[in-house]
Amino acid sequence: MQPKQKAIIVRPQYFFYSNAHLIGRKGLICLEEIKYHDVVKNALIREGWTITHDPYYFVDTDPQLSTDIGAERLMAAENATQKIVVEVKSFLEESQVVELEKAIGQYGLYRRFLAKQAPKRTLYLAVLPRHAFEDIFSRQVGLEAIEEFHLLLFVYSLLENEPLVWNPQ
């Protein structure tokens, strides 16, 4: 019989469940996902974005849905504010096709709710690592998914000063 594990507050919305997982509003969360979330958030901040939501909640959904990050930045040349929401994905699982299928499902739902709630915000899929983009998104299945589902994405890196690559080709 294993001893009971003690809950430790990490952030207001997360509690330790085991050495590798947390319990959060989205359910059981892998600690690696939290790390990737923070990497993307910090990269957005470095590129001049202001984080407005962490996470970004969709109102009036049952069950409650959220995506990882809401952000905005002033576009000086256009005298306008660009607003985005970001769903962070690592694509490090054994099957990148299965990960892509899950991401497309989430992206479609989130895009639909975002169009109702905040039509001026744009949804992006943050993809790690660069080879995931090259392995799945630059091949036929990924290219078809980008075209068919109008996926907007950017590639992020675990290297601290690496810039985000927006809508890579």
Task: Kindly give, in sequence order, each residue whose CB lies less than 8 Å from that of residue 114, ignoring residues fewer than 6 positions away.
Answer: 58, 85, 121, 123
Asked if residue 89 lies in contact with residue 99, where contact means CB atoms within 8 angstroms, the answer is yes
Strand partners, 69: 86
Q: Which residue has the tokens 């957005």?
A: 44
Which two three-digit tokens encode residue 169? 């080709």
Give me the mean pLDDT over the 93-116 stretch: 92
**Residue 150, domain extent:** 30-166
Question: Does a structural domain hold residue 123?
Answer: yes
Question: Does a structural domain hold residue 11?
Answer: no
* CATH classification of the domain holding 84: 3.40.1350.10
C-alpha to C-alpha distances, 64 to 56, 83, 85, 143, nearest whole angstrom: 11, 22, 16, 31
Strand partners, 50: 72
Question: Does a structural domain hold residue 36?
Answer: yes
Per DSSP, the three-state class of 148 is helix
Question: What pLDDT shows up at residue 65?
Answer: 92
Does the structure show a pLDDT above 70 at 163? yes
Question: Does a structural domain hold residue 24?
Answer: no
Does the structure show a pLDDT above 50 at 63? yes
- The total domain count for the chain is 1
Tell me the per-residue pLDDT of 108-159, one tens digit each, with 9 for 90 and over: 999 999 999 999 999 999 987 777 778 888 889 999 999 999 999 999 887 7
Question: Does a structural domain hold residue 12?
Answer: no
Task: Quote the mean pLDDT of the chain.
Answer: 80
> Quick count: other Cβ atoms within 10 Å of Cβ 146?
17
Q: Where are the beta strands (DSSP E) in 56-120?
A: 56-58, 65-67, 69-75, 80-89
Question: Does a structural domain hold residue 133?
Answer: yes
Question: Does a structural domain hold residue 99?
Answer: yes
With 0.85 as the threshold, say if the pTM is over it. no
For strands 14-16 and 21-24, give the pairing: antiparallel
7 against 119, higher pLDDT: 119
* Most confident of the following: 19-28, 30-39, 77-86, 89-98: 77-86
168 against 49, higher pLDDT: 49
Question: What pLDDT shows up at residue 4?
Answer: 43
Which two three-digit tokens encode residue 117? 């709630």
